[in-house]
Amino acid sequence: MAISAIIGGQWGDEGKGKVVDLLSSEVDVVARYQGGANAGHTVYKDNQKIVLHQIPSGVMRDDCKCLLGNGMVIDPIELVEEFENVKSKGLTINNIFISMNAHITSPIHKLIDVNSEKKSNNKIGTTGKGIGPTYVDKYNRKGIRSCDLLDNENLKSKIEKQTNRALSSHQISTDDLNSIKNELDMFFKACNTISKHITDIMPILHGSDNLLIEGAQGTLLDIDHGTYPFVTSSNPSSGGITTGLGLPLNKIDRLIGIFKAYTTRVGNGPFPTELFDEDGEKLQNIGKEFGATTGRPRRCGWFDAPLAKYSIMINGFNEITMTKLDILDEFEEIKVCTEYECNGEKSKNLSTFINQFDNITPIYKSVPGWKCSTVGINSFDDLPEKAKEYICYIEEILHTPIKHISTGPKRNDMIIR
Ligand code: IMP
């Protein structure tokens, strides 16, 4: 059994969907282990764009089984919408299997999420998909799991209890509740629809010959290792795989870190290399940096090497895929943050300053841009010399091989080294 995992090395949106899609040609199963409808993985089929939120990107291949692991939080309404969307693109949903122990996001969770953001003085900038409140219920041992969807009466009673708890703790009001009556009806219908996909996924997972694990979000959004409290509520880092799927630690052969050739972040929280100038706007416009789930503009900045090194250390990446190299094509000068300075102290290790992250000054090294198109280039040798130098420079700082380089949105816009 060969197992590979694809994990976001930065703050999410690194282009993991495309890499999963590429590698899934070699695998029989693709599994997700955390997160839920907050994710947005963009893939292309016959030049048609498909945005996946909860369904693993393996759905693009008819013969690939897709598993939604116990560590995920599943939104039934959104999942049914996704089912319809992938079916309309000619793809099958027959190979999608949901773990019996995955937790369920209800319309109440979404209300709590949105209300809590409205009231907060320290907004996280969540996706509003109810992710945090679903995980809160899970860890409070009050969660609804997908196995609960198999018994309608039990499900209704659990939703009633969840609603009463939210009302009595003033997380939602009766007006709020009235406003989601239709949504609650849709929820029960959607639960019924997705219940056909709920099963014991262990035999598929452990019976796979070639398994690909698909991370969502990114390492710096990890609840334990990210820029807390501006994080998501799960463990996108490799540590989440073992609990989020039920795979032993010693089974994973290949850990692939996905990094953009620059850095982006959506939502609030510190971001040392963020650009507020023309270069930032250029990255945002050329890179079409708008959230796949919420449409929010993504904040953009230069590549942050201390952040990448930390991510490699936390996850144990043995190789890197660099995405969106082509977005840097028009820049005269490209910067790479090589070190941080905080209160007069310098460090190349992010962990030194992780709790003072909003007080960091990045120290940059400038490298010359290549000023010509790399879009669609498939061979490393065909890249302009300065683009090769940029990649080799980053590889040298990170001490980790960059084995794939994405040069455009299409499936084949990829260099395999
Ligand atoms: P939540 O996961 O909706 O609770 O949001 C928490 C933080 O994670 C916010 O800053 C979101 O913008 C960010 N976030 C959640 N999912 C993604 C993602 O898939 N890509 C990028 N950022 C995300």
Per-residue pLDDT tens over the stretch 112-153: 999 999 999 989 999 999 999 999 999 999 999 999 999 999
Which backbone phi and psi does 70 adopt, to 5 degrees?
-60, -25
Question: Which residue out of 38, 219, 290, 323 has the highest number of ligand 1 atoms within 8 Å of its CB and is therefore the one to mutate?
Answer: 38
Q: Which two tokens stand for residue 268?
A: 């609030």
- Report the nearest atom of ligand 1 relative to the CA of 234: 2
pLDDT at 53 over 90: yes
- The response to whether residue 217 sits with its C-beta less than 6 Å from ligand 1 reads yes
pLDDT at 22 over 90: no
Spacing, Cα 216 to ligand 1 middle (Å)? 10
Where does the pLDDT of residue 294 fall: very low under 50, low under 70, confident under 90, or very high at 90 and above?
A: confident
Q: Is 327 exposed, middle or buried (0-12, 13-18, 19+ CB in 10 A)?
A: buried
Mean pLDDT of 304-320: 97
- The response to whether residue 232 sits with its C-beta less than 6 Å from ligand 1 reads yes
3-state DSSP call for residue 32?
strand
pLDDT of residue 368: 97
pLDDT of residue 26: 87
- The whole-angstrom distance between residue 78's C-alpha and the CA centroid of its chain comes to 17
Mean pLDDT of 257-264: 98
* Residue 413 a catalytic site member: no
Catalytic residue among 21, 28, 41, 413: 41
pLDDT of residue 43: 85
- The response to whether residue 70 sits with its C-beta less than 6 Å from ligand 1 reads no
CA distance 267 to 246: 30
CA distance 161 to 139: 16
CA distance 277 to 331: 13
Percent of the chain with pLDDT over 70: 100
Question: Which residue out of 109, 214, 217 has the highest number of ligand 1 atoms within 8 Å of its CB and is therefore the one to mutate?
Answer: 217
- Report the nearest atom of ligand 1 relative to the CA of 216: 19
- The response to whether residue 226 sits with its C-beta less than 6 Å from ligand 1 reads no
Q: In this structure, which residue's CA is closest to atom 21 in ligand 1?
A: 12
Spacing, Cα 232 to ligand 1 middle (Å)? 6
* Residue 13 a catalytic site member: yes
Percent of the chain with pLDDT over 90: 88
Spacing, Cα 354 to ligand 1 middle (Å)? 19
Spacing, Cα 130 to ligand 1 middle (Å)? 11
Where does the pLDDT of residue 17 fall: very low under 50, low under 70, confident under 90, or very high at 90 and above?
A: confident
Spacing, Cα 19 to ligand 1 middle (Å)? 20
- The whole-angstrom distance between residue 102's C-alpha and the CA centroid of its chain comes to 17
pLDDT at 38 over 90: yes
Where does the pLDDT of residue 95 fall: very low under 50, low under 70, confident under 90, or very high at 90 and above?
A: very high
